Structure 1
Amino acid sequence: MQRSIQYTSDREYASIEELLERKLDFLLHIEDKIAEANRAHNSAYASTLWKIQIDEERHARMLRDLLV
């Protein structure tokens, strides 16, 4: 038995778009924090933020793919 995902309303799309927009704003915030950590020569903190950034970018791509 095959199951398919169907969107039944524009509201569902709007919520994904809103989530993606928030995710992109968060990514910009993380980039700023990484730059601050690098300027302060805090490589451990920058490394942790970089790992978070990678995960968040992956999630943003998945959300974007849902919109296509």
Structure 2
Amino acid sequence: MTPDLSAAAWRKSSYSEGGDNNCVEVADGYPGVVPVRDSKAPQGPALVFGAEPWAVFLATAKGEVR
């Protein structure tokens, strides 16, 4: 089931450096899932990932998993 994201508080990556909205945004406060959207299209669709797969993705992106 997709959570209601109408009141989501979105935040950009700390690595975005305030660039031209070419960022991924995530919303906190949704137990067990991580909503993700494209900052260039805030009214567009959001993807919702399980918290564990999202953590593995981030660790891999940081080079912590080989």
TM-score w.r.t. structure 2 length? 0.31
User: Which protein has greater RCO, CA pairs closer than 8 Å, 6+ apart?
Assistant: 1
Q: In terms of Rg, which structure is larger?
A: 1
TM-score w.r.t. structure 1 length? 0.30
